[in-house]
Amino acid sequence: MAENKYHKNYEEIDIETDPRFQMERIVSILNLEKVNKNVPRNGNLLYRCPLCGDSKDKSHGHLYIDYTKNSYYCAKCGESGKPLSLYAKVNGIDNKTAFKELLGSEITKNERKRIYNIKKIKEDIEQNKEKENTILAGIKRRDNVYRALLNELTLSPMHRESLLKRGLDNKFIEKMGYKTIPQDANKRKKITYKLIKNGYKLIGIPGFYKDTDNNWTFKGYNGFLVPVYDNKNRIQAFQVRRFTKKCKYIWFSSSGENCGTSSEAFINFTSVDKTKPFVIVEGVLKSQVCEYLRPSANYIGIPGTFAIRFLIETLKKLKINNIYLAFDMDKLTNEYVAKAENNLTKLLKKNNIKYDIFNWDINKGKGLDDYLFNIMLEKSVKAGGFIYCG
């Protein structure tokens, strides 16, 4: 019997289609708190996660719900699944008990009202998806367009200073291509016009879209662009480093805009030299800073713990088998970082990929980049050409 089907008194119930088990109803029953007004990338809506309690900032959430796929995923605690499992986990019961409860309960009048409102949101999502170009351009075209864009941009003194404070020098900053996003809408249009004039096609390139006048432009996020490189040193995407308390990093995406395109959660490679170890850290920019501070290793930057699920496939494809995990040391007190590291080790074991774990004194830096910058080679033991801190 399929996993999405249950039997009750010899009657087969398909929870994928039965209205009692739809995400709209579960969100209504659990009274989840929606924190965003607009439709995020890929048609997901953002809520406060009831499973991990989410961040301290009540206006910030991590639980992505995709009503079109009847699924959820929390970018903070990593929990994911279908409506039935969400209901079960929140109530501390197993799926079988949750199934019986939902099957035996009627949809109340108040629920119907809330479900109706959610369905209206679902319709809006579908409309946004229709106007969004969801076909991502190939890596070669993305790389060409993004490099052309960087050539038209500069780095503001404030953003340069923030990078210098992390231990980088100007030569490395220029090499990596960090650039400030212009806040002048007319300037963004002029740059885009120049790209088109030079023969670059912008359809399918995340960050670019057509405005209300049907003119091509790009998103004016307040911050600087951080290129995300693949294993062949091609720019796959951009992250935007912002200077806000709510969310430091977002993807350079134009999801939901006219002719806009979503950006995927790409993994950053600083280099691929199999004579050197591969070190996995949390964060794209962090991996690049580590490369500058300690170039005797290859660094793989995963953009948040949720990107772990995309990592294994990449490691197997490149036949990488000398892995070192360097998750932030707040894993000692942050259960979600610890859980992410534990989940990754399980996946590595399952796929027969050898690994080791780096630990260091958290007082000398929460992240590996902080540690390398603050203490460098002090009292370190070398392992395979890299600092091993036992």
Position 114 pLDDT exceeds 50 = yes
Position 267 pLDDT exceeds 50 = yes
Position 41 pLDDT exceeds 70 = no
CA distances from 65 to 45, 284, 349 (A): 5, 25, 30
pLDDT level of residue 388 (50, 70, 90 thresholds): very low
pLDDT level of residue 3 (50, 70, 90 thresholds): very low
Determine the average pLDDT of the residues in 292-312. 85
Among the ranges given (3-17, 98-112, 217-231, 238-252), the one the predictor scored with the smallest mean pLDDT: 3-17
- pLDDT, residue 368, reads 95
CA distances from 260 to 39, 133, 214, 320 (A): 13, 6, 12, 35
Helices (H), 155-297: 157-164, 170-176, 185-197, 284-293
- Say which residue, 105 or 334, is predicted with more confidence: 334
Cβ proximity of 373 and 167 under 8 Å:
yes
Position 93 pLDDT exceeds 80 = yes
- pLDDT, residue 382, reads 45
pLDDT level of residue 236 (50, 70, 90 thresholds): very high
- pLDDT, residue 238, reads 98
- pLDDT, residue 246, reads 66
Residue recorded with tokens 């294993």: 231
Among the ranges given (102-111, 265-274, 296-305), the one the predictor scored with the smallest mean pLDDT: 102-111
**Using one digit for the tens of pLDDT, what is the confidence trace for 160-214?**
999 999 999 999 999 999 999 999 999 999 999 999 999 999 999 999 999 999 9
- Say which residue, 300 or 112, is predicted with more confidence: 300
Domains, in order of start, for the chain: 5-131 (3.90.580.10), 139-251 (3.90.980.10), 268-388 (3.40.1360)
DSSP SS3 for 140: helix
pLDDT level of residue 57 (50, 70, 90 thresholds): confident
- Say which residue, 73 or 58, is predicted with more confidence: 73
Position 360 pLDDT exceeds 70 = yes
Residue recorded with tokens 């009503």: 67
Residue recorded with tokens 């995406």: 253
> Considering the chain, what is the average pLDDT of its residues?
84
- pLDDT, residue 328, reads 93
Among the ranges given (90-104, 167-181, 211-225), the one the predictor scored with the smallest mean pLDDT: 90-104
Q: Are strands 249-251 and 235-241 parallel, antiparallel or unpaired?
A: antiparallel
Position 144 pLDDT exceeds 50 = yes
- pLDDT, residue 264, reads 86
Determine the average pLDDT of the residues in 342-359. 91
Determine the average pLDDT of the residues in 111-119. 62
Rounded to whole angstroms, the Cα distance separating 39 from 60 reads 15
Among the ranges given (143-157, 229-243, 303-317, 326-340), the one the predictor scored with the smallest mean pLDDT: 303-317
Determine the average pLDDT of the residues in 130-154. 88
pTM of the model: 0.76
Determine the average pLDDT of the residues in 124-134. 55
- pLDDT, residue 121, reads 60
Residue recorded with tokens 């009274």: 31
For 305-344, b/e burial (b = at least 16 CB within 10 A) is bbbbbebeebbeeeebebbbbbbbbebeeeebbebbbeeb
Instruction: Choose from 239-248, 307-316, 357-366 the range with maximum mean pLDDT.
Output: 357-366
Percent of the chain with pLDDT over 90: 46
